[in-house]
Structure 1
Amino acid sequence: MTGIILAAVAVRACKFDFESTDYTVHLKHWYDYIHGHGGFSAVGDNFSTYNFSDYNAPYLYLLAALTYLPVQAQAGIKLISVIFDLLLAFFAYRMASLRYPDSWQPVMAAAAVLFLPTVIMNGALWGQSDSIYAAFAVGGVYLLMRDRPWMACTFFGLALAFKLQAVFIFPLLLVLALLKRLPWQTLIAVPATYLALDIPALLLGASPENLLTVYLRQTESYQDLTLDAPSIYQWVTSSTHADVLRTAGILFTSAVLIALIALVAVNRAALTNLRIALLAATSAVLVPFLLPSMHERYFYLADVLSVMVAFYLPRRLWYAPIAVQVSSALSYLPFLGMPLFQGDAASLEFKLLAGVMALALAALLGAGFREFRKAGIAQSGIQESFPAGEPAPSAPGSGR
């Protein structure tokens, strides 16, 4: 495992010299402002006198800490993401260990996550920070599997504090609460953790209103139906009624989620670790695929969780993470200055990528319906045979 970690860090270190547009236009400006205005004290400025960043306070705390270290700005920003890449791989290892104790598969799961093209490109190449919220979100899923609800919800609160995209798997929390795998009172840990991380910014002079509305301002910043995301909106050509379509898309996504949550809740199936992994991965793909105004990076959590669910159900879902990764990684390339196609062909490229993502979503939904149908059959006492390699229904916490 040490060799895998060293190789992963070495691969990332080779990408540190690359300057993305996001770094030169945004991240460098944020770092320079914090560095030139007193380090941590500048964080309060962002939510009071001068909004130099549209990110929430916790990430700005990390940038502020970086200004006190003898490290070049771009390398330091990317190093933060690399550290959370390793934490993300750790939780991938722990999740796989529940399914395969005393085996080599957990090491392979961690390695697969560490060497995912999007995980490498997102932090070490692009300078983005999606590994931070993803590490806490995957850690939260792992803790749910371990039946540690308070800690799990705390981790989800940490994920939400760093990126709004953490909400993509929040339907999982609702399902677990409805089926009494997660006590309702533990959900308070999510907003409590989020708000606790605002306290340092408040002490530094931040406006409470600006702190609490940072994500609202983010959602109002982008009005396009899709921002290079391989989503359903790649097939929507009309731009004359974009506002109506955006509203309809939000309502449609909500209706689909409510319907799926209701189906699972009515089924009353025992939520085994396999079913938790299926629900988490499906939600991480489904929500950004159906919601409007998504960026290409918003499938980051889907990239990771699709790998994890494939380790839990390899014979049925081995191709799902490949489809997600192909679609997600190729959608990164235009923003990084490496598009596969130019002009009109680029539009066709993204339509194809959306189709590949739809294939992955169909695979996850199909596996989920089959798994919960098995649970219903088992509860009714009806005997049915299933293909070899399909795990039998098992008790919660069993690792199945």
Structure 2
Amino acid sequence: MHKHRELTNEQFENMGFLVLITVLAMLCRFLLFPFESGDYHQFLQGWYAALKDNGGFAAVGMNIGDYMPTYLYLLAGFTYFPVSGLVAIKLVSSLADIALAYYVMKTVRLKFEDPLYGVMAYAVALFLPSVVLNSAVWGQCDAIFTAALVACVYYFMVDKEYQAVAAYAIAFIFKLQAVFLAPFLLLLLIKRRVKISTFLIIPFVYLLAVLPAMFLGRSMKELLTVYFSQAGQYKMIAMFLPNLYTWLPEDTPEYISAAAVMFAGALTVTALFYLYKKKFVFTDELFVTMALFFALFLPFILPHMHERYFYLADILAVIFAFYFPKMLYVPVVTVLSSTYAVCHNLFNTDFFSVQLLAVIMLFILIQVARHAVRLIDLQSGQVPG
């Protein structure tokens, strides 16, 4: 009886801390809401105004913005409340931060019997600089698709492949950047950890997501080609993300960009083939490491990457640190690099060479790759424990 009371008290204390840290995180964000980014003035403000002026949900049938209509559904819901567009846009993203932190907590809890570690992970995720800046300052919605991708990894770790693929599908109907984790899913497929038929969930969820906008008047052709339209929108080969292309000039010819995409594809196929030939069993540690590797790898080798595209890697690196505390430098460097890139966009921060930062991120990528290989070799006895 006494033991049960102690457990209940511990749960109550943890819940109290979660509520307190959530309230503090939201208050912190509310204080930052007045900041108006360039993206808000150039895109988001106009999108929200168009939704509000044309009947809220009724307006999602219009060709507003270049995002999937799923994001517009969320914004349209807030047009019925007495809040400004700036607050509504940032509130959507800030609420998604909570969902993101929740799945970070659940993933970390798989590692530890003591729930305290999960609670700590929740707090870290909510106050991560790149997370706070993304939602409360920039007004971006990367927390939505990233929360779904972390949920995807979590559900694979607990052997729930349908929920995992459904979570991936939800990420995909919000942002094309969900493809950063696509090689991870492909690896699970070729390793027979997920059935190919399960991936039918993705087009099914996509169709469900666009149907409301179609019924309200938007062209199905437009809805099915949103991501193709986005792909050719930005011409700069590197948009201050510290990756492989930061050494190239802004006016790099398009044929070099096309070659860079082919190069990235070849590297990804090579990595997948190497992992396919290796004999190993997916453990929780390997799930976390592989997911982080691809979240770093794809943005690093692809051209036309935006400043915030290491956002997913930031979150997975936090989880990685709880699984491998001796590699704490991985999230520290990744988050600092990502935050610096974001601050460059928001505040014109420019005191460190992005080329040098790219070299540092390459080092982090190599370290994570080596760690993954070591985990695999440990299973086969090729590396002493």
Say which of 105, 117, 131 aligns to 2:129: 117
* Cα pair 2:236 2:250 within 8 Å, conserved: no
* Cα pair 2:280 2:376 within 8 Å, conserved: yes
Say which of 368, 376, 385 aligns to 1:364: 368
> Is 1:138 the equivalent of 2:155?
no
Q: Which amino acid aligns with 1:206?
A: R
* Cα pair 1:323 1:359 within 8 Å, conserved: no
* Cα pair 1:179 1:268 within 8 Å, conserved: no
> Is 1:250 the equivalent of 2:254?
no
Provide the C-alpha distance between the structure 2 equivalents of 1:203 and 1:236, rounded to a whole number of angstroms.
45
Cα distance per residue 1:34-64 (max 9 Å; x no partner)? 1111111211111xxxxx3011110011111
Cα distance per residue 1:118-171 (max 9 Å; x no partner)? 000000011110001001111111111111111111110010000000110111
Most deviating of 242-251 and 140-149: 242-251
Provide the C-alpha distance between the structure 2 equivalents of 1:338 and 1:220, rounded to a whole number of angstroms.
25
> Is 1:268 the equivalent of 2:274?
no
Q: How many residues align?
A: 368
> Is 1:15 the equivalent of 2:32?
yes
Provide the C-alpha distance between the structure 2 equivalents of 1:159 and 1:238, rounded to a whole number of angstroms.
30
**1:314 is matched with which residue?**
325
**2:11 is matched with which residue?**
none
Cα distance per residue 1:86-140 (max 9 Å; x no partner)? 0000000000011112342111111111111000000001111000100111111
5+ residue gaps, structure 1: 47-51, 342-347, 387-400
Q: Give how far 1:238 is off.
A: 8.0
Provide the C-alpha distance between the structure 2 equivalents of 1:19 and 1:237, rounded to a whole number of angstroms.
29
Say which of 188, 191, 194 aligns to 1:179: 191
**1:129 is matched with which residue?**
141
Query: What SS is found at the alignment partner of 2:56?
Result: coil
Cα distance per residue 1:285-304 (max 9 Å; x no partner)? 11011100000111111110
Q: Which amino acid aligns with 1:324?
A: T
* Cα pair 1:321 1:360 within 8 Å, conserved: no
Cα gap change, 1:212 to 1:238, in 2 (>3 Å) = closer
Provide the C-alpha distance between the structure 2 equivalents of 1:154 and 1:246, rounded to a whole number of angstroms.
32
Q: What pairs up with 1:62-141 in 2 under 5 angstroms?
A: 62-141=74-153
* Cα pair 1:137 1:156 within 8 Å, conserved: yes
**1:395 is matched with which residue?**
none
Provide the C-alpha distance between the structure 2 equivalents of 1:83 and 1:136, rounded to a whole number of angstroms.
13
**1:228 is matched with which residue?**
240
* Cα pair 2:378 2:384 within 8 Å, conserved: no
Provide the C-alpha distance between the structure 2 equivalents of 1:31 and 1:296, rounded to a whole number of angstroms.
24
Query: What SS is found at the alignment partner of 2:241?
Result: coil
**2:6 is matched with which residue?**
none
Cα gap change, 1:101 to 1:30, in 2 (>3 Å) = same
**1:374 is matched with which residue?**
378
Provide the C-alpha distance between the structure 2 equivalents of 1:214 and 1:79, rounded to a whole number of angstroms.
25
Q: Which amino acid aligns with 2:228?
A: L
TM-score (norm 1): 0.89
Provide the C-alpha distance between the structure 1 equivalents of 2:374 and 2:255, rounded to a whole number of angstroms.
35
**1:193 is matched with which residue?**
205
**Percent of aligned pairs sharing the same letter:** 36
Q: Which amino acid aligns with 2:174?
A: F
> Is 1:300 the equivalent of 2:311?
yes
5+ residue gaps, structure 2: 1-17
Provide the C-alpha distance between the structure 1 equivalents of 2:233 and 2:248, rounded to a whole number of angstroms.
21
**1:280 is matched with which residue?**
291
